[in-house]
Amino acid sequence: MVRKLDDVVLVAGHGGMVGSAIVRRLRALGYNNILTAGRDEVDLRSQADVQRFFGVHAIDQMYLAAAKVGGIHANNIYPAEFIYENLMIEANVVHAAHVTGVQKLLFLGSSCIYPKLTEQPMKEAALLTGVLEPTNEPYALAKIAGIKLCESYSRQYGRDYRSVMPTNLYGPNDNFHPENSHVIPALLRRFHEAVQVQAEEVAIWGSGTPRREFLHVDDMAAASVHVMELDEAVYQAHTQPMRSHINVGTGTDCTIRELAETVASVTGFNGRLVFDATKLDGTPRKLLDVTRLSSLGWQASIGLEDGLRDAYRWFVENHDRFRGRSATSWGDLPHGCRIDPAGVDRSGGRESARRDSARAAEQSTGAG
């Protein structure tokens, strides 16, 4: 392991759930020079902005956790924005990092890079072996391009640019917005509000039988730093030049019913869970193969129930910012990695997507 605590470490996307968790992890390990920047300082979509920013900071290593993200509606209606802006962020940052001598970089992608019908659990070798999920194909292609950028600069210029692909993430600083949150924050909020009004039941989209994998964001941050700190020879020995990315997950999954039951327990909801089996379930199973990461000495340490309690505690402590928004309608999951749970209301149409896309653009295109 290589840990250089005095290195200047840039975390691009530090304002988001993953980026903020990486900052917490680095601080806990004793890193002394963590660099962050808000959108007012650098727009990562702008090549000139990025070149200027990298030109005035002597960066030793960086984590690229910034991206334009959005829900299914936004991905469907604004595919050009999702592919263009993510490609620009990745190309601008990776190239500027190379030109200014940043030797180490970690790119954070998405499990949506894998084909829609790939074998489960999904191995790194499955990349580019089949058709992608149509609803988020432009976004997924941009993420694949990010992997290939890192591989190409490493192969041609001898850089040490690595990539990790996380499973479904949750935890502190998650998006609990009622229109476009992921399944876990959606369920936590829905059950919380059901307890507040003493509701007798909570309706959940689908049969509850699909199986999904969930990783606490603090585990994701720990895995990211672990991969970054690996000796270069060790990293290369466990990957291939053209398949250099590493899956990050728990290696275990659960049914949506089991997830909902655990959320009910965590939030203190004692009513009925009503699964609407007339609604589509989506893919029966989605699980990452984490053999490569395990062979490199890392495994997840936060169990699902403990992680949910942590996420719920954060929500309760911060829920004032969410007041005034009813949980009667629920947006689709970002990135096309949807789980189709929680009574998702897909009637929002173009206007919902417009709001979703606007929020995503504001939140994710700066270094913060």
Written as one letter, the residue type at 343 is G
User: pTM of this prediction?
Assistant: 0.88
The arithmetic mean of pLDDT across residues 212-222, rounded, is 99
DSSP secondary structure, 219-242, as one string: HHHHHHHHHHHS-HHHHHHTSBTT
Return the pLDDT at 353.
42
* Residue 15 marked ligand-binding: yes
* Residue 143 marked ligand-binding: yes
The model's pLDDT over 265-295, given as tens digits with 9 standing for 90+, comes to: 999 999 999 999 998 887 889 999 999 999 9
Query: What is each CA distance from 218 to 130, 170, 171, 333, in whole angstroms?
Result: 31, 9, 7, 20
Q: What does the buried/exposed string (b/e) look like for 246-256 if buried means 16 or more CB atoms within 10 Å of the residue's CB?
A: bbbbbbebbeb
The arithmetic mean of pLDDT across residues 232-249, rounded, is 97
Please report which confidence band the pLDDT of residue 323 belongs to, taking 50, 70 and 90 as the band edges. Answer: low
Dihedral-angle region of residue 252 (phi above 0 means left; psi in -120 to 50 means alpha; beta otherwise): beta
* Residue 16 marked ligand-binding: yes
CATH code that applies to domain 9-318: 3.40.50.720
Return the pLDDT at 180.
72
* Residue 169 marked ligand-binding: yes
Please report which confidence band the pLDDT of residue 253 belongs to, taking 50, 70 and 90 as the band edges. Answer: very high
Phi, then psi, of 336 in degrees rounded to 5? 80, 0
Return the pLDDT at 70.
76
Pairing relationship of beta strands 104-108 and 61-64 according to DSSP bridges: parallel
* Residue 366 marked ligand-binding: no
Return the pLDDT at 148.
99
* Residue 205 marked ligand-binding: yes
* Residue 270 marked ligand-binding: no
Paired tokens of 148? 């290939």
| Cβ-proximal residues to 329 (8 Å cutoff; 6+ apart), any chain | 178, 179, 345, 347, 348
The model's pLDDT over 28-77, given as tens digits with 9 standing for 90+, comes to: 999 999 999 988 899 999 999 999 999 999 999 999 999 998 767 778 88
Residue 334 has pLDDT above 70, yes or no: no
Return the pLDDT at 322.
60
Sequence spans of domains, the chain: 9-318
Residue bearing tokens 């998405």: 110
Q: d(Cα 232, Cα 200) in Å, to the nearest integer?
A: 55
Return the pLDDT at 367.
57
The model's pLDDT over 154-207, given as tens digits with 9 standing for 90+, comes to: 999 999 999 999 999 999 999 898 777 889 999 999 999 999 999 999 999 899
Give me the active site residues, please: 139
* Residue 70 marked ligand-binding: no
The model's pLDDT over 346-357, given as tens digits with 9 standing for 90+, comes to: 333 444 444 444
Is residue 158 within 8 Å of residue 334, measured between CB atoms?
A: no
The arithmetic mean of pLDDT across residues 215-233, rounded, is 99
Q: d(Cα 363, Cα 15) in Å, to the nearest integer?
A: 8
Return the pLDDT at 177.
83
Return the pLDDT at 241.
94
The arithmetic mean of pLDDT across residues 7-11, rounded, is 99
Please report which confidence band the pLDDT of residue 336 belongs to, taking 50, 70 and 90 as the band edges. Answer: very low
Share of the chain above pLDDT 90, in %: 77
Residue 343 has pLDDT above 60, yes or no: no
Count of CB atoms within 10 A of residue 83's CB? 20
Q: d(Cα 304, Cα 311) in Å, to the nearest integer?
A: 10
* Residue 188 marked ligand-binding: no
